[in-house]
Amino acid sequence: MSLNYLTPEFKVIRDYDLCINCKVCMRQCANEVHSYDEQLYKMVADDFKCVNCQRCVVMCPTHALTIINHPQDFRQHANWSYDTIRDIYRQAETGAVLLTAMGNDKPYPIYWDKMVVNASQVTNPSIDPLREPMELRVYIGRKPDKIELDENLNVKTQMPPQLKLEVPILFSAMSYGSISYNAHASLSRAAEKLGICYNTGEGGLHKDFRKYGKNTIVQVASGRFGVNREYLNTAAAVEIKIGQGAKPGIGGHLPGEKVSEDVSETRMIPVGSDAISPAPHHDIYSIEDLSQLIFSLKEATDYKKPVGVKIAAVNNVAAIASGIARAGADYIAIDGFRGGTGAAPKRIRDNVGIPIEFAIASVDSRLRSEGIRHTVSLIASGSIRNSADIIKAIALGADAVYIGSAALIALGCHMCQKCNTGKCNWGIATQDPYLVKRLNPEIGYKRLVNLVTAWGHEIKEMLGGMGINDIESLKGNRLMLRGIGMTQKELDILGILAAGE
């Protein structure tokens, strides 16, 4: 295409008083924004190529660089916004679906921020977690109605398999392919250290990480990449992925150029071939089919591992979740419409699905009204940003949460939303060996451990403030929440009172 009507999105500002022409920025930028002008004897930048990943800004030894949104704008128009016009230019040039990454960034209300948490005063003492025991351990899995004991108090109940988590947090499904080897190395090691689990996503389990099996959830997605008996039995749990929040109802596509030797072996597909995950599982066209797959996987793992199902938060999520629980799933992971991803069609990412806050509340209520809530665990995901979001998710009814974007940010992700290009300058969403090396798994794992440890402390503090010393007593405890700035209908669906009530 000869004509390009686009202007740069970002502007690279260089303080030439500080720049020492060291060329670090040039070496750090996989997008080739920076170069050295031999005639001018100074570094220059091509704003067009900048994605605002801020790698150069952080690495510049003299802090000479600043990236800003490009000041060039269109004539102000409330309907035809800057992004809207640019998207049309891009599609008029390419005729293609617009791809993007890392979560819906539209200004929908964030309901987490419209809920506030209770604290005890006088009638019920707050509990000081520095002095009193606080329990954050949870078990994910199907629970029986009752315990059966013999006359000597030996347990006769055959306890369904449980996933033990020392804090109610898991690392979301992120495949090897969408993220790097070093990112997986960081996640898996951190999960082991923290006593929690990470999720392989649909990309198979790299042989190097089998040693973290007891902290691994393996996914069985529509592409069935890397799925075999050993893969299933190495893990602590198996998760059937039906959908994900960032792109409900569509499949996935890992471009052939990302299928390196290593990815090929892990996914069990030829090097350089495109890895297409179909939109549906081609053996699941009904809830009965899902049930059969759940029990096939239970058979394959000797009924020793929980088998969960991950779905995106969509309109009838409560009814769907009820069906999944009755189909035999041990846990249901529900991913809200702000969930991150390595690549998604922009229109789908930004317009399909519902907020996780409503989904988790309505699923919890529905399962409870049917008397089956206690038989299945719920994991909430889709932009859990901090420990307060976790507290609120659990009070709305979740047993635990998945964190994905937050974990990647801990590893260095700067939310440039260009994972789909494979040029992640932070070594996270890339398979380029030169870039992958930038993420040191030793440092990455420590940063993840720090993040979850810090959140654990904060959860304990907030629990103590509520007069609770076991996270179990927060589950579905919606009396601990109050809503601000919501309609009565929204409050009713969330099952919470307004502030002051």
Partner 1 sequence: MLKEGQVRIPSGCAISGMMDQTGAVFTGQKIADSIATMHDRSNGLGGGFASYGIYPEFKDHYAFHIFYNDLQSRQETEEYLKANFVVAFEEKIPTRKIPQITNAPLIYRYFALPKLEKLNDTELTDDDFIVKFVFDVNIKIKGAYIFSSGKNMGVFKAVGYPEDVAEFFKLESYSGYIWTAHGRFPTNTPGWWGGAHPFNLLNISVVHNGELSSYDTNRKYLEEFGYVCTLQTDTEVVAYIFDLLLRKQKLPINLVCKVIASPLWDQIDRMSPKEKALYSSLKIIYSKALLNGPFSIIVTFEDGFVAINDRIKLRPLTAAQNGDMIYVASEESAIREVCKNPEKIWIPRGGEPVVAKLKQTNTNEIYESKEVTA
Given the rule CB under 8 A, which residues bind partner 1? 120, 122-125, 127, 132-133, 135, 137, 139, 143-144, 146-147, 149, 153-155, 157, 159, 162, 368, 371-374, 466-470, 472-480, 501
DSSP letter for each residue of 165-200: ESSSEEEEE--BTTB-HHHHHHHHHHHHHHT-EEE-
Residue 232 C-beta: closest distance to partner 1, Å: 24
For partner 1, the closer CB: 56 or 480: 480
User: How many other β-carbons are positioned within 10 Å of the β-carbon of residue 126?
Assistant: 17
* CA separation, residue 498 to residues 206, 355, 487, 489 (Å): 48, 19, 9, 11
29 is annotated as contributing to ligand binding: yes
Residue 424, marked binder: no
Q: In this complex, which beta carbon is closest to partner 1, that of residue 157 or of residue 296?
A: 157
Q: Which helix (H) or strand (E) holds 138?
A: strand 138-140
Q: Cα(344)–Cα(420) distance, rounded to whole angstroms?
A: 8
Minimum distance, C-beta of residue 128 to partner 1, in the bound complex (Å): 10
Say which residues have a Cβ less than 8 Å from residue 241's Cβ, sequence separation at least 6: 173, 202, 219, 220, 221, 222, 310
Going by C-beta distance under 8 Å and a sequence separation of 6 or more, which residues neighbour residue 403?
169, 170, 171, 172, 381, 384
User: What would the two tokens of residue 28 be?
Assistant: 């750090």
Tell me if 416 is assigned to a ligand binding site: no
CB 136, min distance to partner 1, A: 9
Identify which of residues 161 and 427 has a Cβ nearer to partner 1 in the complex: 161
Beta carbon of residue 150, minimum distance to partner 1 (angstroms, whole number): 11
In the complex, the smallest distance separating the C-beta of residue 358 from partner 1, rounded to whole angstroms, is 18
50: annotated binding-site residue?
A: yes
Q: Are 67 and 58 in contact (CB under 8 A)?
A: no
| Paired residues of 497 in beta bridges | 482
User: Would the annotation count 413 as a binding residue?
Assistant: no
- Residue 197, annotated ligand binder? no
Shortest distance in whole angstroms from residue 367 CB to partner 1? 9
Cβ at position 450, least distance to partner 1 in Å: 23
| β-pair type (344-345, 99-100) | antiparallel
- The most distant pair of C-alpha atoms in the chain lies apart, rounded to whole Å, by 91
Closer to partner 1 by Cβ: residue 102 or 391: 391
For residues 21 and 477, which CB has a smaller minimum distance to partner 1 in the complex?
Answer: 477
Which residue shows structure tokens 């992971």? 333
d(CA 460, CA 496): 22
Task: Identify whether the C-beta of residue 140 lies closer than 8 Å to the C-beta of residue 113.
Answer: no
Q: How far is the CB of 147 from partner 1 (least distance, A)?
A: 5
Q: Which residue number, 9 or 166, has a Cβ lying nearer to partner 1? A: 166
Nearer to partner 1, 188 or 377 (CB): 377
**23 or 137: CB nearest partner 1:** 137
**Residue type at 418 in one-letter notation:** K
Strands (E), 179-262: 197-199, 216-220, 237-241, 252-254
Question: Residue 218 and residue 143: Cα distance in Å, rounded?
Answer: 21
Residues of the binding site for [4Fe-4S] cluster: 19, 22, 25, 29, 50, 53, 56, 60
Residues of the binding site: 19, 22, 25, 29, 50, 53, 56, 60
